[in-house]
Amino acid sequence: MSNVTIKDLELLQWVISQTGLDYQLELENGQISIRGPSDIVSSEVGVRLIAALYVWINPRRLGRVFDSAGGFILPNSNLKAPDVSFVKAERLRRSIRYFAELVPDLVVEIKSQSDRIPPIQQKLQQYLEQGAQVGILIDPDEETVTVYRPTGEPLQLRGDETLTIPELLPGWELLVSELWPPIFEENE
């Protein structure tokens, strides 16, 4: 089988969209990977993180926050879509109607119910090797957040520990416990 190009992937994505199915396609080393919709816990965790980032980033005009539909063409020609990503304003002054041809400064992957941790760790490592400054793995099953940087050991946070990203977002912080979906009582 020959290598698939980004143009081939765009055509396939269009065909899939016409069926009404909601699948995310990525291109890695000329091969297509297909991801179905995420479970709702992972989706809600992503929304909670995006909201927390957006309310800090937007009024300060620090950059742009993207969800899992935002595609990035990396220097190695792979097309990837992290679950959550951030690009500094000076690197993407204007959003474009195409995939961004750059590596996000921050990439976040959220473990879905069917995911395994080692492939997610490998994916984050690849982002860092391509130029991401920070990678984050969120595991809703274990209620942990692991922060990866190009140098140093990963930092795992849980409970009421605070997530910070000082190299990208000085002053921003989020309690890890704020990421987990609340449980609503019956009489609330």
Range of the domain at 113: 39-179
Examine the pLDDT at 32 and tell me if it is beyond 90: no
Distance CA 67, CA 47 (A): 8
Lowest mean pLDDT among 85-89, 134-138, 175-179, 181-185: 181-185
Instruction: Assign residue 114 a region (left: φ > 0; alpha: ψ between -120 and 50; beta: otherwise).
Output: alpha
Q: How confident is the prediction for the chain on average, in pLDDT?
A: 88
pLDDT of residue 1: 44
Any domain includes 185? no
Residue 21 pLDDT greater than 70, yes or no: no
Q: What is the mean pLDDT of residues 127-131?
A: 96
Distance (Å, whole) CA 155 – CA 176: 13
Between 120 and 1, name the one with better pLDDT.
Answer: 120
Residue 57: both structure tokens together: 């980033």
My answer on whether 96 and 66 are in the same domain is: yes
In terms of domains, do 10 and 43 share one?
A: no
Number of domains in the chain: 2
What average pLDDT does range 125-140 have in this prediction? 97
Residues 138 and 98 in one domain: yes
